[in-house]
Structure 1
């Protein structure tokens, strides 16, 4: 009987296994009418105790073994599970089954022989031999899945179930193209089960890497492009691990970035590292990625800007000109000075666009500074941009700096990359200013000033704010709370050059972290202080 999807309960249901997802309970807003891969739902249900390992199907009346004896495909010759039985080469095996065997052997050669992954664990003849078993079924609402043979959280053998024709309109890719990417995707899952000693919070990495692998195997199919919408339009952490969510398929861009930047082996190295240390935490990536997780994530955020109509296939994703989606600008600024608060979750990025006027060019600089408010860590990058092939990337000093234009640019984009790996909502204040850029002998700006800090810090009832002015001029001193709201004006007037100090005694304010912002003709500086009450 053909499977159905019923709202609000979504049933991922096949003869071998049944999964129920309550859409009202989970409150997800990107529900789809099919599931690309059922493996995460199966694993999650086993972990939650709502399902047990399914018995392998017995309602099969035909099998065929691949040329290299690595795979055995099980299929029916009648009923709704039967594939198209056309046999153009008259070898007694339907062409769809023949093609499945060819594509599976191709996947084996790529992953085992070329990329060096270990073969799947033996199932000790559960399907009739030592081959990896693949069952063709009328799934209707899923491309396929890999089913583990053991219920414990341990490495295990597994078998594959694949849709028998991919004819339904709900699929993003149809026919033999869908069969190609699904054989690669699900076979890579059988390899994943070699590495898994901890099944928790690993779905995201399994699906991201399998979706990458299917494109690595069949670069011309590009099924993954259909899921980029979920990545570019959902503000989720990179390791978002909801099993029924399509975000993880679009987030395969993270794996594409890693492989294109550091080579295919980086993906296998990460899997081996996670297995060895029995962890699924993305923070463990830091020890494997050559430039570290924080720098890699910031660079990944830059790559994501060069997509869709900003595609640069030479320096960034080689498929980026095929993308129908790109990152969204969170703020757009067309004035010389700006300050605002940014909110973000772990491993997400915010994009602030700064539009330049014609009067700003090689004799100007962008002064940029970002102040974390609640303990977050950020890497901030600036892209100076004219077009996808005329750009410059600069990583901003954590203390802030003046970045010279060097030439005329249409705009700059400040990318605020949240590199924390602990769940939380983090806040920071960014400040930008376009200034004239004058260089000395050592090409250092001549017009700098500094804040010595506040003393005491923490304080109650008052603290002294100390700073140095290299030259006379107008000065404003404001206090902001941790939400970026101005709470007090301490000074607005003219000061002579020299060492200066201002005493601040909070007036009817609650205890907490406050930002002291000092603005002069030479620039703007901010320091933090803690008021105890």
Structure 2
């Protein structure tokens, strides 16, 4: 039984759930639900019920304890029962290798975050864990309940770890400071699963074994540090998670666990708002603090927590720390839109995010094709909400289409500092008739287009990215040739000469007996200024295309072309 001690929990409960205004939708791109984050402990918390708490100390109970080499950490663990770790001991020192490794990486994280970067140390807890070292408890917390209660998502599984605040540090401040301890999973197993109502299972973790323990140590130790500065519980849960997610990859650059949140944000940006201080938003905007760290170094993040310790509210802390760098939250947010736009397929090597090429391509909310006499649309944005739209303009053959990309947001620091969340509207109209208040798009294009923005408030900012069309050319042969199924990503096949961009083309792949082994209908696209049909190699792989020489046939409404392609599929 858990005693009635006031806790604030920082959970990494990675459950695939995205909240909608009408019920819930499971977002399988990222383990999403953060139960009991910054809330008092609950007797109904099924994850905590799996952990044995001592009635007298209100601490978890384990069978064994191991002290790290520098003595800064006590690692509590079990050698038998549900929570037992793997007992494999390669160096025969009497300690399971998993525990040896947790102790080693705990010291490594402490060295990085405290001794090198200069954050406050969370060590020292008045001997509550048996010493003044920082206590880490190891339990099987990743797997789901056999029969999860649909009304108690804490039993659905997926926990990486959690940090529990414990004793208030005196003297009291506006934002209370606490000692803490943390709980990690006992193996980060590939077989641990999230079970959601209805019985469907999802893999609990994106990172397994010791690698899972490493990133969780970096993440949770940052939470322990945050408790020492003090937390603005009304507004800081999202920012706290932004920082902790950032530290996973900062301390262990090879880690890619955070990419699950990037994938989710880039696909569903309208669901996750930076200005709403919720943990699931914080996980996704960890890349915002990553951007700040890349631009200004870790000291700007540390300054934000130092300002929090002075009793300044979260979003004001972010803005004030950036002012010391000659910038502001609004300026950085506008820059952030460029950073996330130029990722995935739009990555510019050596610029923006280090891992930008590993990101997906950010989704457009609206994709419109211009038609006379005009195109227009309206939208409403919460403070710091993001909306990317695309308008494509027809061009004269053989030029590719002109494309306008609009990156829209609503800058309103005063609202989010004061906890006010009201939408601002804007309308965009584009036409070919000149209006003195409008802006000419694509000045070198043969067709004149004019752009107008009507804003409901001064906070609305819309960045225009104009991508003029280019002259395109007919390609004579397919490439690469030969095509290596195991190495190449796409096959590019020439489009019929008069087929315009976006035209529907039928493609067939014929074997030596003129039997069709693969067919598809695709749009004419551009690659290296060539008008081509792009065929993902993954589709050819799924069709089990064997090694050999094939004939391809490409049909448009008024032309058919043939060619040869060699395919190697080991």
Which interval holds the TM-score relative to the shorter structure?
0.5 to 0.7
| Match 2:178 to one of 136, 147, 156 | 156
Query: Whole-Å Cα distance in 1 between the matches of residues 126 and 103 of structure 2?
Result: 20
State the partner residue of 1:285.
318
State the partner residue of 1:27.
23
Q: Does 1:62 align with 2:82?
A: no
- Could you list the runs of 5+ residues in structure 2 that have no partner in the other structure? 1-8, 143-156, 193-202, 416-420, 439-453, 458-570
Contact preservation (8 Å) 1:62, 1:74: yes
Query: Could you say what the CA RMSD is over the residues aligned between the two structures, in angstroms?
Result: 3.9
State the partner residue of 1:350.
387
State the partner residue of 2:424.
426
Q: Quickly say closer, same or farther: Cα 1:286–1:335, change in 2 above 3 A.
A: farther
Query: Whole-Å Cα distance in 1 between the matches of residues 33 and 93 of structure 2?
Result: 31
State the SS of the aligned residue for 1:68.
coil
State the partner residue of 1:102.
104
Q: Quickly say closer, same or farther: Cα 1:333–1:35, change in 2 above 3 A.
A: closer
Query: Whole-Å Cα distance in 2 between the matches of residues 316 and 33 of structure 1?
Result: 23
Query: Whole-Å Cα distance in 1 between the matches of residues 327 and 127 of structure 2?
Result: 44
Q: Does 1:253 align with 2:287?
A: yes
State the partner residue of 2:353.
317
* 1:53-109 residue CA offsets vs partner (Å, 9 max, x unmatched): 985445322111111211110011111111111110011111000000111111111
| Match 1:43 to one of 33, 38, 42 | 38
- Could you list the runs of 5+ residues in structure 1 that have no partner in the other structure? 1-11, 361-385, 387-407, 436-446, 452-479, 484-533
Contact preservation (8 Å) 1:146, 1:160: yes
Q: Does 1:206 align with 2:240?
A: yes
Contact preservation (8 Å) 1:342, 1:350: no
Contact preservation (8 Å) 1:122, 1:130: yes
Q: Quickly say closer, same or farther: Cα 1:306–1:335, change in 2 above 3 A.
A: farther
Shift of the alpha carbon at 1:295? 1.5
Shift of the alpha carbon at 1:350? 1.9
Query: Whole-Å Cα distance in 1 between the matches of residues 246 and 20 of structure 2?
Result: 31
Shift of the alpha carbon at 1:284? 3.9
Contact preservation (8 Å) 2:73, 2:107: yes
Query: Whole-Å Cα distance in 2 between the matches of residues 284 and 49 of structure 1?
Result: 35
TM-score normalized with structure 1 length: 0.63
TM-score normalized with structure 2 length: 0.59
Contact preservation (8 Å) 1:212, 1:252: yes
Shift of the alpha carbon at 1:354? 3.4
State the SS of the aligned residue for 1:208.
helix
* 1:326-360 residue CA offsets vs partner (Å, 9 max, x unmatched): 23242434358543312211111222323355569
Q: Quickly say closer, same or farther: Cα 1:293–1:356, change in 2 above 3 A.
A: same
Shift of the alpha carbon at 1:450? 6.8
Which region of structure 1 is more displaced relative to structure 2, 73-82 or 345-354?
A: 345-354
State the partner residue of 2:488.
none
Q: Does 1:417 align with 2:450?
A: no
* 1:176-223 residue CA offsets vs partner (Å, 9 max, x unmatched): 111110111111111000111532221111111101101101111210
| Match 1:179 to one of 213, 221, 225 | 213
Shift of the alpha carbon at 1:31? 6.2
Contact preservation (8 Å) 1:205, 1:239: no
| Match 2:306 to one of 250, 269, 272 | 272
Query: Whole-Å Cα distance in 2 between the matches of residues 174 and 119 of structure 1?
Result: 28
Query: Whole-Å Cα distance in 1 between the matches of residues 166 and 85 of structure 2?
Result: 25
* 1:443-481 residue CA offsets vs partner (Å, 9 max, x unmatched): xxxx99579xxxxxxxxxxxxxxxxxxxxxxxxxxxx99
* 1:234-263 residue CA offsets vs partner (Å, 9 max, x unmatched): 4132033335x4x43122111112112222
Query: Whole-Å Cα distance in 1 between the matches of residues 113 and 187 of structure 2?
Result: 25
Q: Quickly say closer, same or farther: Cα 1:37–1:358, change in 2 above 3 A.
A: closer
Shift of the alpha carbon at 1:131? 0.9
Shift of the alpha carbon at 1:165? 0.5
Q: Does 1:144 align with 2:177?
A: no
Query: Whole-Å Cα distance in 2 between the matches of residues 346 and 267 of structure 1?
Result: 22
State the SS of the aligned residue for 1:162.
strand
State the SS of the aligned residue for 2:39.
helix
Contact preservation (8 Å) 1:238, 1:348: yes
State the partner residue of 2:117.
115
| Match 1:326 to one of 341, 359, 362 | 362
Query: Whole-Å Cα distance in 1 between the matches of residues 396 and 21 of structure 2?
Result: 55
Query: Whole-Å Cα distance in 2 between the matches of residues 161 and 37 of structure 1?
Result: 18
Q: Quickly say closer, same or farther: Cα 1:432–1:271, change in 2 above 3 A.
A: farther
Q: Quickly say closer, same or farther: Cα 1:202–1:482, change in 2 above 3 A.
A: closer
Contact preservation (8 Å) 1:37, 1:145: no
State the SS of the aligned residue for 2:25.
coil
Query: Whole-Å Cα distance in 1 between the matches of residues 111 and 33 of structure 2?
Result: 22
State the partner residue of 1:528.
none
Contact preservation (8 Å) 2:368, 2:392: yes
Query: Whole-Å Cα distance in 1 between the matches of residues 259 and 437 of structure 2?
Result: 49
Question: How many aligned positions are there?
Answer: 377
| Match 1:340 to one of 377, 382, 387 | 377
